[in-house]
Structure 1
Amino acid sequence: MTSFDPYDHALHTDPWPIYQQLRDKAPLYRNDELDFWALSRHADVAAAFRDTDLFSSSHGPTLEQWSPNAHKYASFVAMDPPRHTQMRALVSAGFTPRRVREMEPTIRELAAAHLDTALAGGPTFDFIDFASKVPIDVISTMIGVPPADRPQLRTWSEQVIARGVGDTGIPQTMRQANNALAGYYTDLVITRRANPTDDLTSALIAAEVDGARLQVHDIVPVLMLLGIAGNETTTKLLGNAWCAAWRNPKQRDAAWNGNITGWVEETLRYNSPGQMAARLLTADINLHDLTVPAGSRMLLLIGSANRDPRVFAHPDRFDIGRDTTAAIPFIVGPHFCLGASLARMEARIILEELVRRLTPEFHIDMAAATRAHNPNVYGFATLPTTVTLR
């Protein structure tokens, strides 16, 4: 079968054929050159995410930044219970169902304003440029980032996830962007300590774990995680939804006739923005008649799991009317994405505003569109679109 290389740029465009090969021929796959194993079937991936004792997050969610010190940049995403539980609980206060619901009017206002700006230049614009502005505004408001600083933070976030051809480690541009973000958020924490406000940064400064206040080195990784994930995941979701609707006219018509929620949920299954996550195996395990030793690096292929025909009928068909309950775009278990409900709401509201203002007869210039190249993230970097107003 074809070799599975998560750094291959061709895979970032069309991973689905090799995922099918993995599920059918090598549900437990071994890559000796890059030193990792991979699980691709839905049942295996979901079970592994739930078993945090055996499949540890302690070395972080990516192969390229694999390290026992991964928590220094990825915060609670690179922690196991009970520390993960403690840190997550502190941050989750900003993502309660009530607080998320209360943000809906603000999100709708932002979506309308940014769409106005996009359309002011004419009927053709970069959909990704438009789609990214609402999530970055929302997460920045929660964190306490002033509006003037947000474009720069968006640029740094994009540089953190961008990978050039042949990159299998950490590129220099990523190091520089990470350092810039760490410096910015360090300054923000220092500022909020002197002058606290009603934002998540101030809340983290005031929080305690085991009777001790969090230090700057505890808080900054949380802000970096939220600032990047809160922007990139929703932006990629929106771009994938827009492209899938364009490629599937009947589904696009169903979306324009009111099934926006189905459009969002099927996109999360069909083109999951998060494609994979790495885990450290803490003990020997036998899977698919093979023994995987303790200490191994295991990739859990979310994108493949969400197209497993053992769970989803006709999985390569984009169908916004299907039942997506079993899909795991935001992971399952203790590491279920903290911002999942916010991302879903942002995507729904932005797509509602697009449907309200535009006809379904839009066009994407795929020849000019570009992909965001990253092993863990699936989506577009640019998506030139021409629209027609209602």
Structure 2
Amino acid sequence: METFYSPFDFAVQDDPYPVYARLREESPVYRNDKDDFWALSRHADVIAALKDANRFSSVNGLRLEPAFWGPDAERFFSFVAMDPPRHTRMRGLVSRAFTARRVQELEPRIREIARECIRPHVEGDAFDMMTDFAARFPTDVISELVGVPEADRAKVRDLGMAIMYRDEEGDDLPPEALQAIGALVGYYTELTVERGRERRDDLLSGLLDAADGADRLTPEEIVGVLILLVGAGIETTMLLLGNAWNAAWLHPEARAAAFGGRVGDWIEETLRWDPPTQAIARTTTEAVALHGTTIPADARILLLTGSANRDPRVFDDPDRFDLDRDTGASLAFGNGRHHCLGANLGRLEARIALEEITGLVADFEIDEANARRVRSSNDRGFAALPSRITRRR
């Protein structure tokens, strides 16, 4: 039976890893005619493509849905949907504002936010990791980073959730999601105008002040960066927290070690074993010959990072969740010139969140019958993870 793979198929989304294994062995250059894309699944091929911006272009975006794909993709993905030299310029300017120092200085406030978000929900013996905590925490962190007033954060959170998920199978976004994007653009545009008049100690002010000689980001470019943060800064961290929680539930020995202090290893192995981002789209700029197959120019390519992270050519016994594993070759944050600029912030958020939770919770079990997955073509995780908890004494 021929292997079938589509990022839009709910059965694949529920458990893509057996499909990835067959793709790596039987069809490392896979063609889906119906959805019009090719897929690369082996670690060596995925990392080579991520590093080869000349032949694998980002200009059409990172996702295949019609709403996101095409020459206007930078409206949603900002500089991530650009090639050099435009990408080089934009990333350079954003990097001047999104500094390691800015992230490090935020750590005490991130811990306060984590405590504010989790403590009311662990007073009893049950909470939902996703709806009670993970959906709110990274949104409030990004709002704190950007400079969104506290009074507006619930609105920003609701708009972000409306953009990210849908419950119906298909390859496009519902009208509500498109409306939410428009509303968020409008909100961030107003906030940018306001910061243009009066600076504060936040990322938005930093983006307004970032300069390379006379070159500065335009207000439209800044709003694009803020929209990018909804997916790149909120969604991925939210899903990482849920995936880590689920991985710990499925592996009791690893859970005991993680709850015993090995939070960093827990996060890194989750990023390898069940990463929030499963696939990254590219467009070929010329014909590419690989494994006896020629991919034509202007073809849509999915680089299956979720599969690459389970490639036995790189990771021994890759389906095993192992806190002692060397995860250095993980592609959870991409690679090459588009390596995630916010990787350090994402790791910091996850570490603080799980440290705060494990400081209050001694153990837990997930109500699997009522757990619910998100429906996304390129991301993987949960919308609901109801859990019964044992409090620390």
TM-score relative to the length of structure 1:
0.96
CA displacement, residues 43-89 of structure 1 (integer Å, 9 cap, x when unaligned): 00001000111101011101112111211221101001221121112
2:117 and 2:175 mapped to 1: Cα distance?
A: 32
Provide the residue aligned with 2:386 in structure 1.
Answer: 384
Provide the residue aligned with 1:33 in structure 2.
Answer: 34
Q: Any stretches of 5+ residues in structure 1 without a counterpart? A: none
Q: Any stretches of 5+ residues in structure 2 without a counterpart? A: none
1:205 and 1:103 mapped to 2: Cα distance?
A: 19
Aligned counterpart for 1:144 among listed residues 135, 143, 147: 147
Provide the residue aligned with 1:280 in structure 2.
Answer: 283
1:17 and 1:123 mapped to 2: Cα distance?
A: 35
2:227 and 2:278 mapped to 1: Cα distance?
A: 20
Q: CA deviation at 1:255?
A: 0.9
Asked if structure 2 preserves the Cα contact closer than 8 Å seen for 1:139 and 1:230, the reply is: yes
Asked if structure 2 preserves the Cα contact closer than 8 Å seen for 1:59 and 1:279, the reply is: yes
Asked if structure 2 preserves the Cα contact closer than 8 Å seen for 1:9 and 1:165, the reply is: no
Asked if structure 2 preserves the Cα contact closer than 8 Å seen for 1:72 and 1:217, the reply is: no
Q: CA deviation at 1:338?
A: 0.8
Asked if structure 2 preserves the Cα contact closer than 8 Å seen for 1:59 and 1:70, the reply is: yes
Aligned counterpart for 2:126 among listed residues 124, 127, 133: 124
Provide the residue aligned with 2:48 in structure 1.
Answer: 47
CA displacement, residues 277-315 of structure 1 (integer Å, 9 cap, x when unaligned): 100100111011011111111100010000111111111
1:377 and 1:235 mapped to 2: Cα distance?
A: 11
1:73 and 1:246 mapped to 2: Cα distance?
A: 35
1:230 and 1:95 mapped to 2: Cα distance?
A: 12
2:201 and 2:280 mapped to 1: Cα distance?
A: 33
Q: CA deviation at 1:93?
A: 3.0
Identity between Structure 1 and Structure 2 (%): 51
Provide the residue aligned with 1:6 in structure 2.
Answer: 7
Aligned counterpart for 1:364 among listed residues 322, 343, 366: 366
CA displacement, residues 187-227 of structure 1 (integer Å, 9 cap, x when unaligned): 11111112222222122223346734433321111111113
Query: Following TM superposition, where does structure 1 have runs of at least 4 consecutive aligned residues deviating by more than 4 angstroms?
Result: none
> Which stretch shifts more, 331-340 or 344-353?
344-353
Q: CA deviation at 1:123?
A: 1.9
1:155 and 1:167 mapped to 2: Cα distance?
A: 22
1:102 and 1:193 mapped to 2: Cα distance?
A: 23
Asked if structure 2 preserves the Cα contact closer than 8 Å seen for 1:76 and 1:84, the reply is: yes
Aligned counterpart for 1:204 among listed residues 199, 207, 217: 207
1:51 and 1:213 mapped to 2: Cα distance?
A: 28
Structure 1 counterpart SS, 2:369: coil
CA displacement, residues 232-257 of structure 1 (integer Å, 9 cap, x when unaligned): 11110010000110111011011122
2:169 and 2:243 mapped to 1: Cα distance?
A: 25
Letter matched to residue 342 of structure 1: L
Letter matched to residue 372 of structure 2: T
Letter matched to residue 323 of structure 2: I
Letter matched to residue 73 of structure 1: F
Provide the residue aligned with 1:375 in structure 2.
Answer: 377
Asked if structure 1 preserves the Cα contact closer than 8 Å seen for 2:90 and 2:217, the reply is: no
Structure 2 counterpart SS, 1:367: helix
Q: CA deviation at 1:157?
A: 1.4
> Which stretch shifts more, 93-102 or 106-115?
93-102
Structure 2 counterpart SS, 1:86: helix
1:244 aligns with 2:247: yes
What CA RMSD, in Å, does the superposition of the two structures yield over aligned residues? 1.4
Provide the residue aligned with 2:338 in structure 1.
Answer: 335
1:105 aligns with 2:122: no
CA displacement, residues 344-383 of structure 1 (integer Å, 9 cap, x when unaligned): 11111111112211112x1111111111110111000111
